[in-house]
Amino acid sequence: MKRIGVLTSGGDAPGMNACVRAVVRTGAYYGMEVFGIERGYDGLIAGDIDEIGPRDVSDTIQRGGTILKTARSTAFLEKEGFERAIAMLGNFKIEGLVVIGGNGSLSGAVDLKKAGVAVIGLPGTIDNDLPFTDYTIGFDTAVNTALSAISNVRDTSNAHERTTIIDVMGRECGDIAIYAGITGGAEIILVPEEPVDLDDVCRQLVESRNKGKSSSIIVKAEGVDIDSNALDEEITKRTGLDVKVVVLGYIQRGGSPTAQDRLLASLVGHKAAALLHEGISGKTVGVRGGEVVVDDIEKAMKMKRRPRRDLIEMARTLAF
C-alpha cells in the first residue's frame, strides 16, 4: 500500500499518541503517505483528514489524550454515515486504515472490513476489556493513576480510622480495580465479574477492624451493580463504620503514559503499519504472553476474556 490513514476513537487512553506516532513513522519509513483522521469516525465522515508526517508527531510520545482528537460517533452507526465514511476513504485514496480504540470502535472496524475496507484494529482503551490482548493501551497508566490515589487516600483513611470506597473506571471489566487494588493493598476488591455479597463485605470489614487494622480500602469497579453511595449507606447502616466515597472518574483517562503503555503502543502501532505495507489487513494486533500477536479481526473480537478470579482470590489472602 502507498497511502494509509489512522484514527483514534472512543474514550481517549494514555498512549494513543505513542501509537499514532509509531504508525506515522513506520509508514513514512516504508515510503507510505500517512493521513491523520480527526475525531475518530466523525472526522472520517466529515472528511477532516490531513497528511501527517514524522515531524508532526515529534514530542508526542509522552503526552496523554490524542493529538487526533476522538469521539464516540453515533453517525457512523447509521447507514448513511457508514457509507459516507467509506466514500471518504475513496475520495482521499486511502488504501488502508488503522483504528485505535476500544470495543465499540473495533466493532466499527469489523463492519468496515466486512464492507471491503482494509483495516487494522489496535487496542486503545483504559478498560483492558478486549479479548485478543493481555493488555490494552492506557490500562497501565490508568492503574498507576488509581494506585497513586489509593496511596493518598490510605494516609487519610488511616489517620481518621475510616473505610474508604474508591470507585474506578473499567466499564464491565474489573481489571483496573483488580490491579490497582492488589498493588494498593486494598482490603476488598469488587468487580462486575463477581456478584457482590454485602454480608460478606461487612463481615470482612468488621473482622479487619477486630484484627487491628485502623483503615480499610474497598476498590470498586464502576460496572459493579451497586452504586458506591448506596454501598456506603449499606455498610454504615450494617456496621456503624465511618465510610467515605472517592470517585476517581476522568483523572484515570489523562496523564502522561507509563513506559509500559508507550512500549505497547509503539509495538502494535509499528506492526500495524508494517502489515499494511505488506498488503495485509483485516487484523488486530495485541500482545499475549509478552509476544506481539496478529489475529483475524472478526475472530479476535469474538474471543472470550478470562475473568481474573485467581487475582481476586489472591488479593483476599493478602488482605489477611
Catalytic residues: 127
Of 106 and 235, nearer to ligand F6P (C-beta) is 106
Choose, by CB under 6 A, the member of 22, 94, 126, 300 that binds ligand F6P. Answer: 126
Least distance (Å) between residue 165 CB and ligand F6P: 17
260 to 289, contacts with ligand F6P by CB under 6 A? none
Of 52 and 248, nearer to ligand F6P (C-beta) is 248
Give Cβ neighbours of residue 216 (< 8 Å, ≥ 6 apart): 157, 162, 163, 164, 187, 188, 205, 208, 209, 241
Least distance (Å) between residue 249 CB and ligand F6P: 9
Least distance (Å) between residue 197 CB and ligand F6P: 24
Of 95 and 193, nearer to ligand F6P (C-beta) is 193
Choose, by CB under 6 A, the member of 43, 124, 170, 174 that binds ligand F6P. Answer: 170
Of 105 and 266, nearer to ligand F6P (C-beta) is 105
Alpha helices (runs of H) in the chain, residue ranges in sequence order:
16-29, 40-46, 79-91, 103-114, 139-160, 175-183, 198-210, 228-239, 259-277, 297-302, 309-318
Report the alpha-carbon distance of residue 126 to residue 139 in Å, rounded.
Answer: 4
100: closest CA among 40, 160, 174?
Answer: 40
Binding segment for ligand F6P (CB under 6 A), chosen from 60-68, 78-86, 124-132, 177-185, is 124-132
Choose, by CB under 6 A, the member of 64, 102, 108, 181 that binds ligand F6P. Answer: 102
Angle between helices 16-29 and 259-277 (to 10 degrees): 30
Please tell me whether residue 253 binds ligand F6P under the rule CB under 6 A.
yes
Report the alpha-carbon distance of residue 58 to residue 270 in Å, rounded.
Answer: 16
Radius of gyration of the chain (CA): 21
Grid cell of 207 as nine digits:
473482622
Choose, by CB under 6 A, the member of 125, 228, 258, 284 that binds ligand F6P. Answer: 125
Size of the site for ligand F6P (CB under 6 A): 11
Least distance (Å) between residue 254 CB and ligand F6P: 11
Binding segment for ligand F6P (CB under 6 A), chosen from 93-101, 166-174, 207-215, 259-267, is 166-174
**The dihedral of CA 246, 187, 142, 103: what is its sign?**
negative
Please tell me whether residue 11 binds ligand F6P under the rule CB under 6 A.
yes
Of 101 and 282, nearer to ligand F6P (C-beta) is 101
Count of residues for the chain?
Answer: 320
Cβ contact 162:192 at 8 Å: no
Task: Provide φ and ψ at 16, rounded to 5°.
Answer: -60, -40
Binding segment for ligand F6P (CB under 6 A), chosen from 116-124, 125-133, 203-211, 305-313, is 125-133
Binding segment for ligand F6P (CB under 6 A), chosen from 51-59, 119-127, 182-190, 207-215, is 119-127
Grid cell of 76 as nine digits:
457512523
Binding segment for ligand F6P (CB under 6 A), chosen from 22-30, 78-86, 120-128, 144-152, is 120-128
Cβ contact 119:297 at 8 Å: yes
Footprint on this chain of ligand F6P (rule: CB under 6 A): 11, 72, 102, 125-127, 169-171, 222, 253
